[in-house]
Amino acid sequence: VPLQASGGGSVQPGGSLRLSCAASGFTLESYAVAWFRQVPGKEREGIVVFRGSDASPVYIDAVKARFTISRDNANVVYLQMNNLKTSDTAVYYCAARTSSGSWYLFRDSEYELWGQGTQVTVSS
């Protein structure tokens, strides 16, 4: 598995979690990294894309101002999730693709590499 997603867990509404997406055997410097999430019975939903240090991340409205994506080193991308809501409950996946050119940011078929998913549960 080229990407390792971790950091999921169970929290109460209003809580925080930080997810990590670590590359194995390569660096993420020339890749765009996205986080998707999926709940049973629904399609996988793209929520944020990190396009590198020269471009601003792109968030969907549902997570904007609550989630922050960042890359601290060449191999790991983080997703800081604050003020979590019950609607954020899902399996979260990180994905990567080469950052050159243009693509549909939140279309999962555009991404070449995937992690295994990490469960996030928000409930009281």
User: Which of 7-11, 84-88, 99-103 shows the lowest per-residue confidence on average (mean pLDDT)?
Assistant: 99-103
> How far is it, in rounded angstroms, from Cα 29 to Cα 1?
18
Per-residue pLDDT, 85: 98
Residue 90: the pLDDT is 98
Mean pLDDT taken over the chain = 94
Q: How far apart are alpha carbons 23 and 67 in whole angstroms?
A: 21
111: exposed, middle or buried (C-beta count within 10 Å: 0-12, 13-18, 19+)?
buried
Local confidence band at 67 (pLDDT 50, 70, 90 cut-offs): very high
Q: What is the pLDDT of residues 26-40, one digit of tens each?
A: 889 889 999 999 999
